[in-house]
Amino acid sequence: MPGRVAELNGKADLCQRLREMGFCESAIIQKIAGKHMLICQLCGSRVALSNRAAQNILVEPIRGSA
């Protein structure tokens, strides 16, 4: 199920790096696979992200998507 990035938490340098990777507020993302290393669909690309970094991304579900 796709979601929308609502907020980035954490240290400023980590948040900046996440934004550079495309995880900016309002971006549409979808988890493809993983537990310790996540693979997300983002802006037409698949991006691998550590679980530690992913914990700093607050995602809200998109209403009406299934």
Question: What is the distance between the alpha carbons of residues 42 and 66, in angstroms, rounded to a whole number?
Answer: 17
Q: For position 35, what pLDDT does the model report?
A: 83
For position 24, what pLDDT does the model report?
Answer: 94
The predicted structure's pLDDT at residue 52: 92
**Strands annotated E in 1-66:** 3-8, 28-33, 37-42, 45-50, 57-61
Say which amino acid occupies 52: R
pLDDT number for residue 66: 58
Give me the average pLDDT of each 10-residue run along the chain (66 residues). Answer: 94 95 94 91 93 94 78
3-state secondary structure of 4: strand
pTM summary value: 0.85
Q: What is the pLDDT of residue 63?
A: 82
Domains of the chain: 3-61 (2.30.30.90)
